[in-house]
């Protein structure tokens, strides 16, 4: 009798705990789902997966060639020793929006915190929730191989003073909701400028040539001019053309895109809701057209 | 200069001229081959682009998708012949790997043909989701050949200074 009573109490208490915990667990699940959508809008964080060497998902190690040397992406799985498994919300937020690690180390701007600084707090939190839901993989990070003086972290203070403008994206009240969503997707999440805007000799973005293409994109690739200039940019592309391209990787002439762009479409942009892709297209089409033919110089 | 020497120099000049002319003729001939195979590939792009136009702009030409897909399938059978001649220099983005891995290259062209034929079939059923998925497979088959056998845009002859 006594035993049956305790049994009932136990079952009831467990149920109660379960009921209290359910909404929290549910919230967490929703955050993970939202975070996955953020990851896709970022392009799948594809630089953090070394797919050329069949590396584990987001475990880093992908070599990223830049004009300043080669950097290896870091492990952003929730592995406690070599990944970000021990990071707090605040650590993650600081890394994403200020480019400073939990150990106080300044990141090289090959990690586009200069774009992610514009992300909303909610999106940063959700992205962390998603990253903490993926399988942890212990894989040590590789140190960067940068030419002097670019490997000197203290020098980054000067770089930041020159090039880093922190702050969450503020919508422009005189523009449409679609346009504002487009700006947010292109500048804060998609970080298009990081590859499509050329850089000066110090690696800062040449803002006068914003989105006008770069001959020295990441991994030695050429990033085309995506301003609406008809001769050298994508001025002849309609909104539907841009949406279709971001869904399939197919250009209006039927050719397919290659390189990092095909990777970020596959892992990221193609999963975005069509309304978001239209917003991206609306913003890109509103950019000032810049005539700039991107040509690779023979070395 | 003796007569024999004059004759020798004369012969040499004629020989060099002949060599240069034949090199010129050969370059022109190679250019013609390059132009032809580029047209074969451009026609694939044009048909792929047309399929894209119908889908992205929701044009009332859904029945045309099969026709474009069949065109790509037919063109795929010309690719091995069009690329048979080993020409990797000049105004071309064809990589020498094509002729080093000839069997793989022709197999990739064949796969594209099969995917195109499948799209022609799927398009007749009219299920948009299935059509989209098969377009993706066909476009992947283009990419799977472009990746190893076509120079990326940063190495393209079109983007060199």
Interchain pair A254, B52: CB under 8 A:
yes
Higher local confidence (pLDDT), A151 or A184: A184
Mean pLDDT calculated for residue range B62-86: 97
* Cα-only R_g, chain A: 22
d(CA A65, CA A222): 12
Q: Count of A–B CB contacts within 8 Å?
A: 73
pLDDT of the residue at A210: 97
Q: How far is CA A292 from CA A183, A245, A289, B131, in A?
A: 22, 21, 9, 37
C-alpha closest to that of A289 among A209, A190, A189: A209
Out of A56-70, A93-107, B20-34, B142-156, pick the least confident.
Answer: B20-34
* Chain B residues with CB-CB distance to A254 below 8 A: 44-52
CA angle (A247 as vertex; B72, A171 as ends), nearest 5: 155
pLDDT tens digits for A140-152? 999 999 988 888 8
Interchain pair B56, A253: CB under 8 A:
no
pLDDT of the residue at B161: 65
Mean pLDDT calculated for residue range B53-79: 97
pLDDT tops 70 at residue B54: yes
Interchain pair A296, B154: CB under 8 A:
yes
What percent of chain A is modeled with pLDDT above 70?
Answer: 94
Residue with tokens 């702009």: B57
Q: Would you place residue B27 in the very low, low, confident or very high pLDDT band (cuts 50, 70, 90)?
A: confident
d(CA A43, CA B18): 58
Point out the residue among B47, B147, B152 whose CB comes nearest to the CB of A254. B47
pLDDT tops 90 at residue A18: no
Q: Would you place residue A254 in the very low, low, confident or very high pLDDT band (cuts 50, 70, 90)?
A: very high
Point out the residue among A221, A244, A253 whose CB comes nearest to the CB of B154. A221
Out of A190-194, A199-203, A230-234, B21-25, pick the least confident.
Answer: B21-25
ipTM of the complex, rounded to two decimals:
0.84
pLDDT of the residue at B25: 76
Q: How far is CA A165 from CA A91, B60, B116, in A?
A: 20, 48, 49
């Amino acid at each position: 009798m006594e035993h049956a009573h305790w049994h009932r109490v136990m079952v009831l208490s467990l149920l109660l705990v379960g009921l209290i915990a359910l909404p929290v667990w549910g919230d967490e699940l929703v955050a993970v789902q939202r975070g996955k959508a953020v990851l896709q809008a970022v392009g799948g964080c594809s630089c953090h997966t070394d797919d050329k060497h069949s590396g584990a998902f987001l475990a880093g190690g992908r070599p990223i060639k830049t004009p300043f040397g080669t950097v290896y992406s870091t492990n952003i799985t929730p592995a406690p020793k070599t990944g970000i498994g021990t990071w707090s919300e605040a650590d993650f937020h600081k890394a994403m929006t200020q480019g400073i690690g939990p150990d106080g180390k300044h990141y090289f701007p090959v990690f586009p915190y200069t774009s992610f600084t514009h992300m909303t707090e909610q999106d940063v939190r959700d992205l962390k929730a998603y990253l903490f839901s993926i399988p942890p993989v212990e894989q040590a990070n590789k140190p960067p191989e940068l030419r002097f003086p670019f490997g000197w972290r203290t020098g980054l203070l000067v770089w930041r003073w020159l090039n880093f403008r922190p702050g969450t994206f503020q919508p422009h009240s005189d523009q449409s909701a679609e346009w504002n969503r487009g700006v947010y997707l292109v500048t804060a999440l998609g970080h298009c400028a990081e590859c499509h805007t050329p850089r000066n000799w110090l690696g800062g973005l040449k803002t006068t040539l914003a989105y006008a293409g770069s001959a020295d994109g990441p991994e030695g690739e050429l990033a085309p001019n995506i301003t609406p200039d008809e001769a050298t940019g994508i001025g002849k592309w309609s909104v539907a053309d841009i949406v279709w391209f971001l869904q399939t990787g197919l250009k209006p002439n039927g050719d397919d895109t290659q390189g990092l762009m095909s990777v970020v479409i596959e892992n990221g942009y193609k999963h975005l809701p069509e309304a978001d892709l239209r917003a991206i297209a609306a913003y890109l089409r509103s950019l000032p057209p810049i005539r700039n033919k991107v040509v690779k110089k023979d070395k | 200069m003796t007569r024999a020497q004059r004759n020798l120099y004369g012969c040499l000049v004629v020989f060099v001229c002949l060599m240069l002319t034949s090199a010129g003729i050969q370059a022109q001939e190679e250019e013609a081959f390059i132009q032809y195979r580029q047209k074969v590939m451009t026609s694939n792009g044009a048909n792929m682009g047309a399929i894209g136009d119908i889908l992205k702009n929701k044009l009332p030409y859904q029945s045309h998708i099969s026709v474009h897909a069949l065109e790509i399938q037919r063109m795929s059978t010309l690719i091995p012949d069009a690329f048979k001649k080993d020409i990797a220099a000049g105004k071309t983005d064809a990589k020498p790997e094509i002729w080093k891995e000839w069997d793989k290259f022709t197999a990739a062209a064949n796969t594209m043909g099969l995917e195109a034929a499948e799209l022609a079939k799927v398009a007749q059923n009219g299920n948009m989701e299935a059509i989209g998925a098969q377009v993706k497979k066909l476009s992947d088959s283009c990419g799977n050949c472009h990746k190893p056998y076509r120079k990326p845009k940063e190495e393209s002859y079109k983007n060199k200074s």
